[in-house]
Structure 1
Amino acid sequence: MRAIVSAGARDLQVMEHPEPQPAADEVTVRVEFGGICGSDLHYHAHGANGAALIREPLTLGHEIAGVVESAGPGVAGDLVGRRVVVHPATPCPPAGCVDGKGFNRLPSGRYLGSAAHFPHAQGAFADRIAVRVDQLRFVDDSVPARRAALAEPLAVALHAVRQAGGDFRGREVLISGAGPIGCLAVAGARRAGARSITVSDLHQAPLDVARSVGADAALLLGSDQVPAAAFDVVIEASGAPAALNAAIKAVRDGGMVVQLGILPPGPNPIDLGQLITREVTLRGSQRFDVELDAAVELLAAAPELDGIVTHVFAPEKAAEAFEAAADSSRSCKVLLDFSA
């Protein structure tokens, strides 16, 4: 079967791998679509994602939608044929869990397509993968597979909303960065009851996507001015150090900034004086905990999120797909189509 493998910086290959055999607590999922994430881009560009360095060939990918194709010994056969998305973490929270235990911060946890541990946790950009039954989340037949592939990044956005308190009723929200996570955060903020949602970005094309999924206003940085002290909540989704300081300036006194975008490693300059004198709360947001179930539910009710997918490539065009995904001026979410 096909697998998209990185052996280091700029060394991306489509390789033939043996078919996976599900263990006693596993099923085999036939992958239909996989979304390229920022971490995949980092592994491709640098051979590392933060401190996680590729030390052996790594199958990338953790945002997938597919169909259960076979069940391991002792696993219920009625799972075969079910449409699913996959929780990338092991251990992962049980389906339906609502009392978060911080699974996203467990140091022993492994994540599909991650080089954080050795041997690496091989990823899901392949025709088929074997995963534990408790990693499955079932998708309604009304949800197209392309939209279902947004479940994992949508869960990341929903976790950021939860980090900001979860209830946005009556609040004015700024989302800094209109990449895939930022645009999905628009949907999360809308679901949380935000009174208004403004999105800022350096490029017009992603702002158009943000508008299409529910943003009330779009600010093109360099042309439009972000008003100071105007927002109750700012979700910083770009990962640019300068954007974090801009977010602190944009939030109202006593408001909250959630840093969702991954900042560069090492010290970053932050205007801590404003945090103190204006009593601004700054919180981090790492992946997600139990929000995947809510993401699957929201996808069934939000067909407008189809617009976040701007490009789809065959696995054989992986290098071209990664190039498109890395260019935020012309792409939002880029998918790989394993169904053909």
Structure 2
Amino acid sequence: MLGCVIHGRGDLRVEELASPAPGPGEVLVAIRYGGVCGSDLHYWRHGGVGDFRLTEPMVLGHEVVGTVVAHGSAGPPGLRPGTAVAVHPATPCGVCPECADGRRNVCRDTRYLGSAARTPHVQGGFAAEIVVPAEQVRALPPGLDPRRAALAEPLSVALHAVRRAGPVAGRHVLVTGAGPIGCLVVAAAKAAGAARVTVTDLLPAALGYARTAGADTVVRADEPGDPGWPAEVDVAVEASGVAAGLDTCLRLVRRGGVVVQLGMLPPGQSPFAGNLVVSREIELRGAFRFDAEFDDALALLAAESAFDGLVSAVVPVREAESAFALAADRGRSCKVLLDFGG
């Protein structure tokens, strides 16, 4: 079977891999679509994500949907062979203090598909077939197209970030960065009842996708005279992963407001306007991955067809490198999917 394996910076290969077999409590899934994530691009372009560096070849991918092929033992109800499913990419340890506290998304010993956070690395989902624990497999809601369902993982990230912000109903939310995650934060904020969502980015094409996701106002980040800039907002979500985005959030959020840092900043120290956190009593919160939001994401995707507009291209897996290049060009794409079907 074919799989996308990263060997180092700039070294992405589509290789023949051995087909896996499910053991007890596991499910064999034939992958149909896999979404190219920003972290996949970081492994490809830089050989790592933040402080997580590649030390061995690794199958990429964690945004995957497909069809159940077989079980290692008696299958769970609702997951018979042929069932269309999405795969939750995280396997928390279940015993650490964070898991015990209900914060499994920050489990100190988790396994996450396609991650170099531990060695041996956790192999990812960009393969024609993968084996995963049965509890990580979710049957798609009736009527949900697998192509749209491929957005479940990044939408879960966005839902978690909005929940970290606290109640947003009736409030003005600022989102810095209109990449795929930023656009999905827009959709998540609107679904949570935000009265207004303003989005900033440098690229007109990205701001167009933010409009598709439901943004009320879009602003060019490099145009300080843009009339769309708000005087202040109630909540800000930093989704660009650059220090300038965090600075914008801290300067525009109201006194006593909340800023959620969602974008992964470059490794090492990042400057930020810390005095504003003090003098305005701003609450600065981190948001990392997700947990139970995965099921909510699938339900939201099933209910809203507008998400289809965020899938900008579907590329055969044999052309993976061109798919990665397209996904890295935010002037031409939003979410790019690899197609493992056929």
Which deviates more from structure 2 when the two are superposed, residues 257-266 or residues 45-54? Answer: 45-54
Residue matched to 1:187: 187
Counterpart amino acid of 2:113?
A: L
Matches within 5 A, 1:22-171: 22-76=22-76, 79-91=80-92, 101-165=102-166, 167-171=167-171
- What is the deviation of 1:222? 2.2
Contact preservation (8 Å) 2:233, 2:254: yes
- What is the deviation of 1:283? 0.5
| Secondary structure class of the residue paired with 1:31 | strand
2-side partners of 1:60 and 1:102: how far apart? Answer: 25
Contact preservation (8 Å) 1:245, 1:271: yes
Percent identity over the alignment is 49
- What is the deviation of 1:100? 7.5
- What is the deviation of 1:272? 1.0
- What is the deviation of 1:267? 1.1
Give deviations 1:228-271, integer Å, cap 9, x for gaps.
65100011100011110111111111111101100111111111
Give deviations 1:58-93, integer Å, cap 9, x for gaps.
000000111111111233485211111111111288
Contact preservation (8 Å) 1:83, 1:140: no
2-side partners of 1:227 and 1:36: how far apart? Answer: 31
Contact preservation (8 Å) 2:2, 2:15: yes
| Secondary structure class of the residue paired with 2:8 | coil
Counterpart amino acid of 1:49?
A: V
What is the root-mean-square deviation of aligned Cα atoms in Å? Answer: 1.6
Which deviates more from structure 2 when the two are superposed, residues 171-180 or residues 83-92? Answer: 83-92
Q: Does 1:333 align with 2:335?
A: yes
Residue matched to 1:20: 20
- What is the deviation of 1:48? 1.4
2-side partners of 1:3 and 1:336: how far apart? Answer: 11
1-side partners of 2:332 and 2:144: how far apart? Answer: 26
Residue matched to 1:311: 313
Contact preservation (8 Å) 1:9, 1:43: yes
1-side partners of 2:53 and 2:266: how far apart? Answer: 15
Equivalent residue in structure 1 for 2:295, among 276, 293, 296: 293
Contact preservation (8 Å) 1:92, 1:135: no
| Secondary structure class of the residue paired with 2:291 | coil
- What is the deviation of 1:226? 6.2
TM-score normalised by L of structure 2: 0.94
Runs of 4+ deviating beyond 6 Å: none
2-side partners of 1:146 and 1:70: how far apart? Answer: 22
| Secondary structure class of the residue paired with 1:256 | strand
Residue matched to 2:271: 269
1-side partners of 2:45 and 2:209: how far apart? Answer: 25
Residue matched to 2:175: 175
Q: Which runs of 5+ in 1 are unaligned?
A: 94-98
| Secondary structure class of the residue paired with 1:189 | helix
- What is the deviation of 1:289? 2.1
| Secondary structure class of the residue paired with 1:7 | strand
| Secondary structure class of the residue paired with 1:79 | coil
